[in-house]
Structure 1
Amino acid sequence: MKKRPIATSLLWAALPLMPVSVATAATPVFEQWRETQHRGNDDLLTAGLGIEGLRSTTAPAFARAAQPTADEARRRAIWSSWRGIADLTPGGGFGEVYGNLQATPGREYAAYARIPGARSPHRVLVQVPDTFDASRRCLVVAASSGSRGIYGAIAVAGSWGLTHGCAVAYTDKGAGSDYYDLDASTGIRLDGTPATDGALAFAPTDVAAPQGIAFKHAHSGDNPEADWGQHLVQALQFGLRALDRAYPESAPFTPANTRTLGVGVSNGGGAVLRAAEIQGDWFDAMVAGEPNVSVAGAPSLYDFVTQAALLMPCALLAVADLPQPPMQAQAAAAGAQRCAALASAGLLQGDDTTAQASSARQQLADAGLDEGALRAAAFSTGFDLWRAIAVTYSSAYGRYGAGEHPCGYTFSAVGADGKPGPAPAELRATWWSEGSGIPPGTGVSLVDGDAAQENTLQGLNCLRALGRGEGADARRVRAGIAAAAAKAPRRGLPIVVIHGVDDGLVPIRMTSDRYVPMARKAGAQISYWRVENAQHFDSVLAFPDYRKRYVPLLPYLFAALDQVWAHLEDPSQPLPRDARVQPTPRAEAPLRLDSLSVPPATGR
């Protein structure tokens, strides 16, 4: 157990009453507190669904399709969050080789928190299992991956932390699935149900278009990525306050007397590294998987995303043996059209599709994308993720409201005729539970203002110019990008970074390979696992062609957490050491622990 001198402990005990002078994270005010009980057939970890319910391709039902109860919305949100992050297929190993899905009864505390100066609040939530032991108090803190809702890290932090008897605190880090229907003036309450008024999680104030759909990451008027670290620290602070309420006889719970671990993947991993910058002994250790992190002085991930949105459909024609889905035969015609359009615009060299595809591939290689990452990026390309990400992030970086995007993009429900139109109430009721936080998806479409020209290049070039140009909008967006760049972590904080070598969405050479040396140069205590045959999305291992090629990344997160935990329990136990991991994909065989080649606690 972590200890401090009595005088210091008394100082930390006063945290709810005074500002923190030793850290850049101010003491937040938490609003709209909500406590719920989850036992019997409605536990914390799976909402009573268990492994079979989570595996089901049919979402948990709403008794009234347009008006889900809070319990129904929560159950579907947990189902969706698990399926979006983890490989739960039979033989995939979750719950057997790694991770845990055992039913966990307990309580949840939810509220809104706000970063100083932010227009919109963000969600925080704490799960306190009945197995929590106040004499061995521990708190695992996580931010959602991607732009997912508040349960977006449950497959990582919840599975590990609740199993260890720890409370688990979550934040949606200013993003999440709190969509707002401009046509119906309807948003989402704290409990996940639709409403037209009251304490909504997000209600846009600057709206240039009276129709369509707004969502928090893109349209809050904030730049949440710049504050990801503060979001995570606020989740920690809320976790301690929730434990004070859950166990008043053992209060106060403070960073001085409670073991605190930060963990996250993708954007959640980026939030972990940003929180590591904040001075003050908030965390005892951090584990960041495939972190979305840009380092000052290097090209930003936004620059790569917009380049990929332009070039990838063409470049993939020059890569053999692409994983499926998406079906490459169907993508080939569109890729050839993109090659021709780019060549006509002077953005590629070559007189035929083969030469043009080779030119596009070389540009991506020059930017830092190697062969393995390029091949894995076929998934993001086939599902138009690059454009969706670029639109959302540029809107957030520039702090644009709904209908204000400088490249003319908007979001809307789409009718049976394929045209934008009002969303039916039954569709609107699913957004909070199933939305990824970045449309398209869940019946919400990305609408290109120039779509009538049947030419997406104009919009894509506009998005790219926002990160590179010199106009007012470009300067506005670049200022937001600069504010989100990572800095060195505080000295003495143990950090483990884990990244798949074949990551095609958050390429390792553009993120972790840049961050780790920068952090070490500043004196950080950091370990780095580079995992071969691992890409970004564990959930796509449900497809046979992907599990023949790749291993899941989550087992390495759990292993690192186990090793860090062992060290915190007994400092004579070693922290993880650097490793280049060489695992073997399972193909159609059940996953085995020895095939993962997890680095041992003693290092190599």
Structure 2
Amino acid sequence: MHHDNFRRLGNAAFAAAAALLAVACGGGDSSDGNTNPNIKPANIGTVTIQAYDGATDDLLTAGLGKDGLASATAPVPASPNSPTAAELRRYAIYTNYRAIVDTTAGGGFGSLYGPNVDAQGNVTTGQGKIAGVEYLAFSDDGSGQENVTMLVQIPNTFNQSKPCMITATSSGSRGVYGAIAVGEWGLKRGCAVAYTDKGTGAAPHDLDTDTVPLIDGTRTTRSAAGTNAQFAARPGILSLADFTAQVPHRLAFKHAHSQRNPEKDWGKFTLQAIEFGIWAINDRFGTVASNGVRQRTLAKSKIVVIASSVSNGGGAAVAAAEQDTDGLIDGVAVAEPNLNLPPNASILVKRGSKPVNASGRLLYDYITTANLLQLCASQATALVNAPAFATNQFYISRCQTLVDNKLISGTTVSDQAASALDQLHLAGWEPESDALHPSLSLFDTAASIAVTYANSYARASVTDRLCGYSFAATLADFKPAAIAPSVLASMFATGNGVPPTSTVQLINDRDLQHGPFMNGQSVSASNNRADANFDGAKCLRDLLTGTDSQAQALQSGVSQIQRSGNLHGKPALIVHGRSDGLLPVNHTSRPYLGFNRQQEGAASKLSYIEVENAQHFDAFIGAVSGYSNRYVPLHLYLIRALDAVYDNLTTGKALPPSQVVRTIPRGGATNTTTAPTLLPVNVPPISASPDAANQIAASTGSVDVPD
């Protein structure tokens, strides 16, 4: 819906007329004025409310300010083994903000975006601290097992005459502050921000000590936590105690091991966060009836709500908009969303009028493909100047195993790696993603995601060790070890919910040569070759088409997370980097544009903005040598997308049409972290009238993206 002045006037006039009619008929308010009580949603448990003064502590930077977020010195707890909830919150905001954006001055932080850049894009001399209150609670289905974290931030600048709210569902598998950098846009505009961890989270259940995280990140024993645990693993065939006795030092993570396939409910959880936000806004600003009951003064119809976030959080925002039957969401603005289309969507994606090699595949399909091929492809001669390129014997061995299994061809390493890279192209990766394969291989990205999602979709227990994988801390010998107490105590703040994270690694439990061993260094049992666990990668891939009980369970889970494509005519902008090597545009945003047109036809108000020289991990731009030379921040375009959707909803300004934005890399010496400073000319605005050569055409079932 459009919240324009005419609409507001109409609502006000209708309300006034209704009130007069009620008086004339002798009805109307009860004697105590308690006509519309602000009732807390039934799924929301105990609520904790905390105010922040905007000086010593605040909503956006936890008191660190712009300079503190940019500092390489983390705000570690004073007593690392027993951090306080306040220390964990500060540390979590610091870590998660820096995980989403590039916080280097050369990359635009502090000049083009960041806490000190106001809502109009003006650079201020302040630190960007924002005073306000936080409402924190679990959403649960009554079992005590769901316990999805909900958080609402309401800045002191919230404007009751122009109320607004955005969502910032966590990215990746992170905790509730996982999209704090997205929430920044709303806080600066005086909007409330509704966050949720969407049933994932960074802090694990440590099976050695049987300790679990609480909602604020502090830890206690599973028995003491009871139903207040943010996550406590459930047993499979073995009890947790028996499993730990046989397989010590393992950790369970909520996304992988909750046995609930939380992704199927990411849209629902985002909608619940909005409902919690509406309640919190009225708890703070609603009038109080004469009997002391707080009223719902600011109804949803008065609040502009934009669903937003990035990556998995962006996918959750889209899912919420599709599932919104109560008119909670007015518009959508997301970046690099994880979008899974039904296999039978049959969307034709073209680039430069030529059909792409593959498109619209499910994440589990393409991530298990990457998990097989990417390590070998990273050794291609064409990539020797790519960021993080290094000759790796494990990856070279993977090449030979792929040849032996007839997945690639070639007799030399160079030929084999080139063949693997070609196979990635045939599987839908664009050539612009090529330079990312070495760094994504280094971080074991495809393996960690494939294992996490396989467990989640199959609803596997941590004790099942699906395909022979587990999660554990390792030492210099690459073998599982007890996690250090100080590391475990802060994982709510430092973790990302998937390995590798905070010394926790992916473990190959089927390495017969070493015993349980770090995945990337391990030996496949089938060939006794140190090929970074090809056996495990193939097992994960086979679950997609297999017929055994685990494969069928996974396939059932995959069927529950697919998008409908129907945004119900909501104004929406998706921005995505053409170079994205994790969630390739051919499998996500490009086909979704066509799928949406297929479902909504002329009623669609979705525009897709594809940004050249942008990729999935802005944080790597200032952290990994070579990224700053090549890539521009996609986050800046999410800010612009939010601006555009907000303007459309509040003033009626037209959304920009679908287009490719031609950015200019910073350049400079190859593979350094000291590229020339990012300037406005490097990141041109989204055009209201793009040139014909930049226009993306979408029709029912078809998308054509210019070269």
- Normalised by the length of structure 1, the TM-score is 0.93
Residue identity in the other structure for 1:521: Q
* Matching of residue 329 in structure 1 with residue 386 in structure 2: no
User: How far apart are 1:566 and its partner, in Å?
Assistant: 1.4
Structure 2 distance, partners of 1:516, 1:378, is: 30
User: In structure 2, which of residues 364, 368, 385 is the aligned counterpart of residue 302 of structure 1?
Assistant: 364
Contact persistence 1:319–1:375 (CA under 8 A): no
* Matching of residue 314 in structure 1 with residue 396 in structure 2: no
1:82 aligns with: 97
User: In structure 2, which of residues 39, 57, 71 is the aligned counterpart of residue 42 of structure 1?
Assistant: 57
Structure 2 distance, partners of 1:144, 1:579, is: 27
Residue identity in the other structure for 2:68: G
Residue identity in the other structure for 2:81: A
Between the aligned residues of both structures, percent identity stands at 37
Contact persistence 1:563–1:601 (CA under 8 A): no
2:306 aligns with: 261
1:23 aligns with: none
Give the 3-state SS of the residue equivalent to 1:548 in structure 2: helix
Deviations 1:106-144 (A, max 9, x none): 111111113588942211101111111222111111211
Contact persistence 1:59–1:76 (CA under 8 A): yes
* Matching of residue 238 in structure 1 with residue 299 in structure 2: no
User: How far apart are 1:489 and its partner, in Å?
Assistant: 2.2
Contact persistence 2:383–2:434 (CA under 8 A): no
User: In structure 2, which of residues 72, 76, 93 is the aligned counterpart of residue 57 of structure 1?
Assistant: 72
Contact persistence 2:199–2:255 (CA under 8 A): yes
Contact persistence 1:368–1:510 (CA under 8 A): yes
2:627 aligns with: 546
CA RMSD of aligned residues (A): 2.3
User: In structure 2, which of residues 216, 221, 226 is the aligned counterpart of residue 191 of structure 1?
Assistant: 216
User: How far apart are 1:421 and its partner, in Å?
Assistant: 2.5
The verdict on how the C-alpha distance between 1:425 and 1:496 changes in structure 2, with shifts beyond 3 A counting, is: same
Structure 2 distance, partners of 1:373, 1:329, is: 17
Instruction: Compare 370-379 and 86-95 and name the one that shifted more.
Output: 370-379
Deviations 1:453-492 (A, max 9, x none): 4120111110111112222211110111111111122322
Deviations 1:304-335 (A, max 9, x none): 11111111111233352456542x2343x333
User: How far apart are 1:375 and its partner, in Å?
Assistant: 2.3
Structure 2 distance, partners of 1:267, 1:323, is: 30
* Matching of residue 528 in structure 1 with residue 608 in structure 2: yes
Within-5 A mapping of 1:476-487: 476-487=553-564
User: How far apart are 1:395 and its partner, in Å?
Assistant: 0.3
Give the 3-state SS of the residue equivalent to 1:256 in structure 2: helix
The verdict on how the C-alpha distance between 1:118 and 1:381 changes in structure 2, with shifts beyond 3 A counting, is: farther
User: In structure 2, which of residues 147, 150, 155 is the aligned counterpart of residue 129 of structure 1?
Assistant: 155
Structure 1 distance, partners of 2:37, 2:403, is: 60
User: In structure 2, which of residues 498, 512, 528 is the aligned counterpart of residue 438 of structure 1?
Assistant: 498
Structure 2 distance, partners of 1:342, 1:14, is: 65
Within-5 A mapping of 1:376-391: 376-391=436-451
Contact persistence 1:397–1:477 (CA under 8 A): yes
Within-5 A mapping of 1:89-238: 89-101=104-116, 102-114=128-140, 119-156=145-182, 158-196=183-221, 197-198=224-225, 199-207=228-236, 208=238, 209-210=243-244, 211=248, 212-238=250-276
2:431 aligns with: 371
* Matching of residue 462 in structure 1 with residue 545 in structure 2: no
Structure 2 distance, partners of 1:418, 1:277, is: 44
1:293 aligns with: 339
Instruction: Compare 585-594 and 525-534 and name the one that shifted more.
Output: 585-594
2:125 aligns with: none
User: In structure 1, which of residues 29, 37, 40 is the aligned counterpart of residue 43 of structure 2?
Assistant: 29
User: How far apart are 1:253 and its partner, in Å?
Assistant: 3.4
Instruction: Compare 453-462 and 97-106 and name the one that shifted more.
Output: 97-106
Contact persistence 2:311–2:336 (CA under 8 A): yes
Give the 3-state SS of the residue equivalent to 2:154 in structure 1: strand
Give the 3-state SS of the residue equivalent to 1:276 in structure 2: helix
Structure 2 distance, partners of 1:544, 1:183, is: 38
Structure 2 distance, partners of 1:8, 1:307, is: 61
Residue identity in the other structure for 2:684: S
Give the 3-state SS of the residue equivalent to 2:512 in structure 1: helix
* Matching of residue 422 in structure 1 with residue 502 in structure 2: no
1:508 aligns with: 585
User: How far apart are 1:256 and its partner, in Å?
Assistant: 1.3
Structure 2 distance, partners of 1:322, 1:283, is: 47
The verdict on how the C-alpha distance between 1:438 and 1:342 changes in structure 2, with shifts beyond 3 A counting, is: same
Give the 3-state SS of the residue equivalent to 1:407 in structure 2: helix
* Matching of residue 404 in structure 1 with residue 464 in structure 2: yes
* Matching of residue 570 in structure 1 with residue 651 in structure 2: yes
Structure 2 distance, partners of 1:99, 1:527, is: 25
User: How far apart are 1:405 and its partner, in Å?
Assistant: 3.1
User: How far apart are 1:341 and its partner, in Å?
Assistant: 1.5
Structure 1 distance, partners of 2:186, 2:561, is: 28
Structure 2 distance, partners of 1:472, 1:284, is: 42
Structure 2 distance, partners of 1:33, 1:509, is: 42
Deviations 1:537-593 (A, max 9, x none): 10111034111111110111111111111122211x212221210011224222222
User: How far apart are 1:56 and its partner, in Å?
Assistant: 2.3
Deviations 1:403-449 (A, max 9, x none): 21331211122245432132232121111001001122102121111
* Matching of residue 595 in structure 1 with residue 682 in structure 2: yes
Structure 1 distance, partners of 2:204, 2:193, is: 25
The verdict on how the C-alpha distance between 1:323 and 1:552 changes in structure 2, with shifts beyond 3 A counting, is: farther
Contact persistence 1:73–1:433 (CA under 8 A): yes
Structure 2 distance, partners of 1:186, 1:246, is: 35
Structure 2 distance, partners of 1:16, 1:401, is: 40
Instruction: Compare 45-54 and 413-422 and name the one that shifted more.
Output: 413-422
Contact persistence 1:28–1:114 (CA under 8 A): no
The verdict on how the C-alpha distance between 1:285 and 1:117 changes in structure 2, with shifts beyond 3 A counting, is: farther
Structure 1 distance, partners of 2:505, 2:144, is: 27
Residue identity in the other structure for 1:169: A
Structure 2 distance, partners of 1:168, 1:294, is: 26
2:122 aligns with: none
Instruction: Compare 244-253 and 306-315 and name the one that shifted more.
Output: 244-253
Structure 2 distance, partners of 1:599, 1:319, is: 36
Structure 1 distance, partners of 2:321, 2:297, is: 24
* Matching of residue 346 in structure 1 with residue 406 in structure 2: yes
User: How far apart are 1:534 and its partner, in Å?
Assistant: 0.7
Bigger Cα Rg: 2
User: In structure 1, which of residues 451, 469, 472 is the aligned counterpart of residue 511 of structure 2?
Assistant: 451
Structure 1 distance, partners of 2:142, 2:571, is: 28
The verdict on how the C-alpha distance between 1:330 and 1:8 changes in structure 2, with shifts beyond 3 A counting, is: farther
* Matching of residue 356 in structure 1 with residue 420 in structure 2: no
Q: Name stretches of at least 5 consecutive residues in structure 1 with no aligned partner.
A: 19-26
Residue identity in the other structure for 2:260: D
Instruction: Compare 587-596 and 239-248 and name the one that shifted more.
Output: 587-596
Structure 1 distance, partners of 2:263, 2:625, is: 34
Residue identity in the other structure for 2:542: A
The verdict on how the C-alpha distance between 1:501 and 1:118 changes in structure 2, with shifts beyond 3 A counting, is: farther
Contact persistence 1:563–1:575 (CA under 8 A): yes
